[in-house]
Amino acid sequence: MDAAVGSTTRWELYRVLAEPVRLRLLALAAEEELAIGELAVLLSESQPNVSRHVAPLKAAGLVLARKQGTRALVRIAEAASADPVVADALASGRALCEGDGSLSRIADVLRERDRVAREFFAQAPAKDAAVPEPADATAAYVAALARLLPRRRLAVDAGTGDGALLDVLAPAFERVIAVDRSEVQLDRARARVTARGYANVKLLKSELGAAELHGHVGEGADVVFASRLLHHAPRPVDLVRQLARLARPGAAIVVIDYERHDDESMRDEADLWLGFEPAELERFAAEAGLDGGEVVRLPSAWCGKGKDAHLPWQVLVARAPVHEGQRGPGERRPVAKKEGKGT
């Protein structure tokens, strides 16, 4: 049981849970981590009033609230529902939310998050946007280094955008599938592919969970990349799950994204999340059923010259699970990380 819940006297707990708005808030926070503004819409309450109701729930250890820039995000404390009183309150709150329709409207909140990113990436790029030239002989170096990879049959570039990652993947892998749901972004990637002469790259307009994409991937990719895509996802853990389904057993899933930061101007770039704590990325990997998730911070000198170059970047590497009988020649069991070692 959460320490704060355990230290709350029973009469105080009953008092905190005696308010119907708090019961509904608790049930919504158990369903999804939601911003105060999103909770206000779902509960038909003002944001200040929602904040006032969050405060006693947080003090009692029933919910956790974390800051992301100017936003406060609220979710249920994982151990809170183990308390029988809280479990009963959750059931009552869920019934109230089902009755007023707020529970089903969480899907609308997630669609609204997604709409922001869709509309941003559907915009035409600036007229002077050109295909950047790679450094001299970079592709040759990548191709040479790639020969050290045990398997390089197929790579997937999820959310390829302008195709910048293709300058690494195309020389390294026999075949690359670059997928994006925006035709505008695919046009930019297509210009890169044409300029570079990448005959082994297939560009595909698709959602990550679409049957068409899985048909092209077949038995699974050897590596699935998602570069700076996670912070646009309405539910990041769901995106990691989609990436995992594209990978063959034992394949690597590589997620490049920002560490947690407070640069609110990045919301103008349709960033739904201002980065992630390393532990969050590891949790996403674990919840997606991946093995051996490890997060490494990237030096600032490696982060390009774009609008996000000033942000701290990190990379998550995890692997699709391999069951006995699926292990290929030379493939070893994953080695568990030693206790006490950081990332």
Q: Tell me, what CATH number does 57's domain have?
A: 1.10.10.10
Same domain, 143 and 100: no
324, part of any domain: no
Same domain, 86 and 231: no
How far lies 149's CA from each of 140, 173, 223, in Å?
15, 9, 11
Same domain, 60 and 151: no
Q: Is the whole-model pTM more than 0.75?
A: yes
pLDDT in the model for residue 342: 39
Same domain, 296 and 194: yes
Same domain, 168 and 83: no
In one letter, which amino acid is 131?
Answer: V
How far lies 342's CA from each of 139, 207, 261, 334, in Å?
33, 35, 20, 18
130, part of any domain: no
153, part of any domain: yes
92, part of any domain: yes
pLDDT in the model for residue 10: 78
The count of domains in the chain is: 2
Look at strands 175-180 and 201-205 and give their pairing: parallel
Residue 242 scores a pLDDT above 50: yes
- Name which of 173-177, 318-322, 332-336 the model is least confident about: 332-336
Q: How far apart (Å, rounded) are the C-alpha atoms in residues 152 and 147?
A: 8
44, part of any domain: yes
Same domain, 215 and 77: no
Find the CATH number of the domain harbouring 230. 3.40.50.150
How confident is the prediction for the chain on average, in pLDDT?
Answer: 91
Same domain, 147 and 92: no
Query: What angle (nearest 5°) sits at the alpha carbon of residue 190, between those of residues 187 and 192?
Result: 120
Same domain, 314 and 212: yes
**Residue that terminates a domain, selected from 62, 84, 104:** 104
Q: How far apart (Å, rounded) are the C-alpha atoms in residues 321 and 9?
A: 44
Same domain, 271 and 190: yes
120, part of any domain: no
308, part of any domain: yes
Same domain, 173 and 233: yes
339, part of any domain: no
Per-residue pLDDT tens over the stretch 7-56: 567 788 899 999 999 999 999 999 999 999 999 999 999 999 999 999 99
CB atoms within 10 A of CB 166: 23
Same domain, 43 and 92: yes
Give the pLDDT band (50/70/90) at residue 58.
Answer: very high
**Residue that terminates a domain, selected from 104, 119, 147:** 104
pLDDT in the model for residue 339: 44
**Residue that terminates a domain, selected from 79, 104, 129:** 104
Q: How far apart (Å, rounded) are the C-alpha atoms in residues 165 and 158?
A: 10
Same domain, 69 and 206: no
Give the pLDDT band (50/70/90) at residue 81.
Answer: confident
Domain with 8 in it: 3-104
pLDDT in the model for residue 17: 95
